[in-house]
A = this chain, B = another copy of it.
């Protein structure tokens, strides 16, 4: 079905190994005439190299694997876009797998199984749902060069990303500066580290301002979705009408929060401010435009690949790899936040 080096060789009247030399640019040893004959033959026949065979002998596929949870997630898909960009720059390609847990695991496929079978040269763990998974951690640690965007039990895997606690802190400080004292939180799933870290940063800022935060009373948990955000907000509002501001852990949930606030007849920002994080492409087009903390998703993907590739190509006596790379987050002040009504 496909033409092979041998087919090209036959047509050009040389040995297939010579064709290999030419097509891989190891020029020194072939005459110009032959080279051209070979190139022509390859083009006419429509030769497409076989990455399987090449990978087999080179013991490297120039490919890096990403274990992600799902493309549903904005952060993850942006992360992959960034990763792909950087990989392309450095002559590698990206393989994405969703075998972190859930459906795949039920079918008996291990963490990143298909990636390992395909012999990727390195692994990027981008599946927070597996952040507590011991087995996954073992794979990451022992098999291959790897980096992660989240905590890996037992460590030993460099982490790339932005500081979640800083994200929470920045949000809190912005609200504090405007004069808010009674701030509620719509969080992601509480078992996730990111949720805990954001709350830590958030709380620390409040404490620094000498404000107590009644955890259970002013917090509602959701699942990152707009729908979840709507429900959690509606509940929280009913429970704690005294709040003058909401710190929402994602723009998507904030979209729901804005709707819930509107439906409750509370004006944003005059009755209640809202600050979120992510900075989705449409966040500035919600009404009111959403104030948020921008998370550099794409950039994280780029940096993860950079780091991983450095790790893979590490010189024998290279410098020890960094074990944490933090990318800065940034406050994007729009109009969903304002001083509380006095």
Contacts and interface: CB of A to CB of B under 8 A. Distances in A.
A70 B61 contact: no
Interface string A1-28: 1100000000000000000000000000
A195 interface: no
Contacts of A225: 281
For this chain, the copies found in one complex come to 2
Contact of A107 (B56, B88, B104, B259): B88
Interface residues of A, number: 55
A263 B284 CA distance: 13
A48 to B, nearest CB: 5
Contacts of A190: none
18 contacts: A1-B59, A49-B117, A51-B117, A52-B55, A52-B118, A52-B119, A72-B77, A72-B78, A84-B98, A93-B97, A225-B281, A227-B285, A229-B285, A252-B281, A255-B286, A256-B282, A259-B285, A262-B287
Contacts of A127: none
A72 to B, nearest CB: 7
A270 interface: no
Interface of A: 1-2, 48-53, 55-56, 59, 61, 70-72, 77-78, 80-81, 84-85, 88, 93, 95-98, 103-104, 107, 113-114, 116-119, 225-227, 229-230, 252, 255-256, 258-259, 262-263, 281-282, 284-287, 289
Contacts of A227: 281, 284-285
Nearest to A113: B48
Contact of A119 (B50, B116, B230): B50
Q: Which residue, A104, A117, A258, has most C-beta atoms of chain B within 10 A? A: A117
A282 B51 contact: no
Nearest to A144: B1
B95 A95 contact: yes
Contacts of A48: 113, 116-117
Given A93-B114, A286-B259, A104 B88 contact: yes
A143 to B, nearest CB: 8
Contacts of A281: 225-227, 252
Indicate the member of A2, A59, A85 with the most B CB atoms within 10 Å.
Answer: A2
B262 A118 contact: no
Given A72-B81, A77-B71, A226 B285 contact: yes
